[in-house]
Structure formats: C-alpha cells, structure tokens
Amino acid sequence: MKNSDDNEPPKPFDEMLEPDGTVRMAYAQYGEWLHGTSKDTLLRKDEQADMMFRRLGITFTVYGDAESTERMIPFDIIPRILDPHEWDYLSRGAIQRVDAINAFLDDVYHDQAILKAGRIPPELVLNNDAFRPEMLDLDLPRRVYGHIAGVDLVRTGPRDFYVLEDNVRTPSGVSYMLENRQTMMRLFPELFATNHVAPVGRYPTELRNNLKSVAPVGVDDPTIVLLTPGRFNSAYFEHAFLATEMGVRLVEGQDLFVDDGLVYMRTTEGPKRVDVIYRRIDDDFIDPLAFQPHSMLGVPGLLSVVRRGRVTLANAIGSGVADDKAMYVYVPEMIRFYLGEEPILQNVPTYSLRNPDDYKYVIEHLEELVVKEVHGSGGYGMLVGPKSTKAEREAYAQRLKAEPEAFIAQPTLSLSTCPTWVEEGVAPRHVDLRPFVLSGRRTTVMPGGLTRVALKEGSLVVNSSQGGGTKDTWVLER
C-alpha cells in the first residue's frame, strides 16, 4: 500500500542517476549500454546467470527457515559501479579504520593505553565476552590481529558513506565478489572491453601473500591451511573455494594436531608442520582445552602453540572485541587516538541503550529507528522501526526494558539505490557494500567488494539470510 505523495520520504540517492535523470560519471558508459539493450536480452542474460550459479552450486544456509536450509543467493546482472574518486575516498577510509582497529587490538592486549586515557570505558572492553584474556601480553607478527576485515558501508549521498559494521572475526562473502565477477565477464565480455574495471581476481593470491607475511618469526616459506568447521557451515562453499584458489589445504579440526609444541596436519606422507591457519571457526570452538570444552570443531592444544609464537591464526583470537556493536561507537575515537587523524568515513549516529538518556529517546522514537542486538549479526533479531507494526514495537520495547545494555539503535538511513533487474524490468533497489581489507606487511583493499541488494521493493535489509541478493561491484580505473 502506498501513501499519498506528500507523505513520501525524499528519494534516496541513486547510484546511476542524478535527481534530474542524467547519468552519473561512474555509469556513463554502462548507462548507455543499458539504455540500448532490450528487456528480452536482459531476461536471457539473467537466465544464463542463474544456470551458471546452479552449476557452481553456490548455496548459503539460511537459519530459522524450516523448509529450505540451503538456498541460492540471488545474483543481479546489473553491476554496482564506483568511479575512481569515490573509490579513492572509500578505500582510504576503510584502510584507516582497519589500521586503527589493529592498533586498538594490540593495545588492549598489552598496555591498554586507550582505557587508561579514559577514551573508552574499560568495562566495555574488559567485561566483553569477545575480549579474550588468553591473548594478553602476546606479541603477534607485525602486530596484526584482523588480517582479513570486511567493512560494511552504506551510502546516502554523493560523498556520504557511513560504516555500519567492522567485521574482523571471520568475515565472509569474498567468494561472491570473485564468482560474481567471473560470471559477469562470461555474460558480458563486451562490457569489460569498453569499461576499465579494476580486476579483483588476484584476491586469492593477495590473501595468500598476506597470510605468508604474518608467518611465525623465522619461517620463510610457511605452510598455510584453511580451517573450516565443515560442510554444515553456512559458508563452507566459500572455505572450499578459497582454499582451492589459494592452493592451500582445506582442513577440519580433526586433520590437525598439536605435538611437541607445534601444529601438524595429517597427510598421506605423514605429519606436516602448519605455520599459518586461516581459520573460519569462532574463538569459542577453536581449542576445547582453552574455550568451549565440548567443541569437536577445533584443535585441542592450539592456544599453547599460538602463545609460543609458533603458529599464526588469521584472524587472531580475541579480534572480535573490536567489531562488537558496542565498540563500534568508539572506532572514530580509535582513529584519533592511534593514528592522530580525523575519520574519513562516518559512523552512523548510534544510541547505546545502556545510557538512560539514549534509552528514553529510543523508546519514544522506535518508529523511526533501527534497533539491533549488540552481539547479534546477520540481521537477526532487529527491529526496523518504519517497517514495523505497533504490536511488534511494543513486544520489542519489552525486550529493551529487560536488557537495555544488549541493544543499540540507529536512525534509519536512506540507503542508496542501484538499478536492479527484477520481474517488472529494471528498478531501483537499496544496496550496501562490503570491501575486503587485508592487513599484513601492508594494509590493502581489493578494488571492489560485495554489494548486497535488498530485492524486495522498499526493503532496507540486504542480508542474504533475509532475502537479499548480490551484485558485481565495479571500481573504474579511469
């Protein structure tokens, strides 16, 4: 149901079109092509894309969905395009953020200067379950904790990019960035001949080099493995894909063991020492002798080798304390404190319900806000005020009352839209962007990333678990 026109919110920023209908610089060439391409052609390309993905078998496990536990993430054939200036700004902002986060992690596991300086309330760090005292006073190679980060961004205007979340635990989605590009290149080779799209295909090589650069001291040619929780994990496809692309062994906990102070993997030629583990298992399950005792996923004894500096885990145990939603508020402060710079990218104004003033404001303005669980992820358990019913808001207010410290709230941003192929043709849909940042010898970001799109008209929820799709992300080199 539509409201009358005078109640319509202002039109969100469109990635392709200026308000007057002219095509933006990033889409100059593509827009012309799209304009001259028939609906039939696009329909055929869409069907072709669907077949390609089915053949690849990319699926994603959707939790809380009794009927289908595995489903395809819809792929959209219209790319999201960023021009060189936009990308320069974005990438500098993402690198700055991740550099500050790594400095923060090194600090909180050593001197805790930022806590002593009173810039972050100590209890938010020390009494946070994601803060792992197991990592105290341990020097990591190159002082890097979040070797792989995914910074979630949204856009509301030409130069208005907001960071929604910094993912420095085990961020996923990079396989979609790579697969989406390959699919696009097969579907539309002519577009890549005319548009100067920065390549992303070297990501696996860059990731491998990055992991190599943080090997334990004295190991020049490290053996790298990718540790997965196994085939039932929602991102198993990505784990297998990345291991293959990097040319490293995909292992499960039972394939590794600790002996004589080192980590080994079982191979047909006997035990082989492992130096760097790209782990896609959460801290809780990584070593049953140190964390969750009944976990069968991890490697018993692993922490002892980490602490002796004889194996590197990427990302490091305890990185999660930096991407907690309660800590998010303080990332700009980290940038100022550690780098002495002003943040390039903005934070979304955030209300912490642990503060009585914020709590009062949020309760009174639930209809306008998005409320999230501090420790939640994947878009589960959140309230999108403008899309909610009165009953939903009342039920949610009860949860807020019971445990205010477990929630934060943010204004609903008018996420930018991008032309998207839907049933009725090409129509604007809301998008976000997750660029991937690698930290090791240097901090770099792949020119591209994962663009997620909310396929339902008007929806702001882009999470694949909630019916979102993905797009190829083009960064133009000129």
Q: Does 257 bind another protein (CB under 8 A)?
A: yes
8 A C-beta contact, residue 217 and residue 141: yes
Phi, psi of 366 (to 5 degrees): -55, -35
**Among 46, 71, 52, CA closest to 60:** 71
Q: Does 6 bind another protein (CB under 8 A)?
A: no
Whether omega for the bond prior to residue 315 falls within 30 degrees of 0, making it cis, is: yes
Q: Does 112 bind another protein (CB under 8 A)?
A: yes
Number of residues that bind another protein (CB under 8 A): 29
Any idea which residue has 């976990």 for tokens?
A: 295
Contact characters 72-111, another protein, x per CB under 8 A: ----------------------------------------
Q: Does 406 bind another protein (CB under 8 A)?
A: no
Q: Does 113 bind another protein (CB under 8 A)?
A: no
Q: Which is nearer to another protein, 279 or 434 (CB)?
A: 279
Distance, in Å, from the CA atom of 11 to the CA atom of 121, rounded to the nearest integer, reads: 39
Q: Which is nearer to another protein, 256 or 461 (CB)?
A: 256
**Amino acid, res. 385:** G
The three-state secondary structure class of 194 is helix
Q: Does 114 bind another protein (CB under 8 A)?
A: no
Distance, in Å, from the CA atom of 257 to the CA atom of 266, rounded to the nearest integer, reads: 8
Distance, in Å, from the CA atom of 316 to the CA atom of 144, rounded to the nearest integer, reads: 8
Phi, psi of 373 (to 5 degrees): -75, 140
Q: Does 273 bind another protein (CB under 8 A)?
A: no
Q: How far is the CB of 176 from another protein (least distance, A)?
A: 36
Choose the binding region for another protein from 55-63, 115-123, 157-165, 375-383 (rule: CB under 8 A). 115-123
Angle at 59 between CA 55 and CA 65, to 5 degrees: 140
Q: Does 375 bind another protein (CB under 8 A)?
A: no
Residues of span 190-219 touching another protein by CB under 8 A? none
Q: How far is the CB of 166 from another protein (least distance, A)?
A: 23
Q: How far is the CB of 229 from another protein (least distance, A)?
A: 17
Q: What is the number of other CB atoms lying within 10 angstroms of the CB of residue 221?
A: 7
Q: Does 259 bind another protein (CB under 8 A)?
A: yes
Q: Does 260 bind another protein (CB under 8 A)?
A: yes
Distance, in Å, from the CA atom of 45 to the CA atom of 38, rounded to the nearest integer, reads: 11
Q: Which is nearer to another protein, 205 or 254 (CB)?
A: 254
Q: Which is nearer to another protein, 18 or 259 (CB)?
A: 259
Angle at 213 between CA 210 and CA 217, to 5 degrees: 150
| Residue 439: strand pairing partners | 443
Q: How far is the CB of 234 from another protein (least distance, A)?
A: 26
Q: Which residues bind another protein (CB under 8 A)?
A: 112, 115, 122-123, 126-127, 129, 132-138, 257-261, 288-290, 293, 300-301, 303-304, 307-308
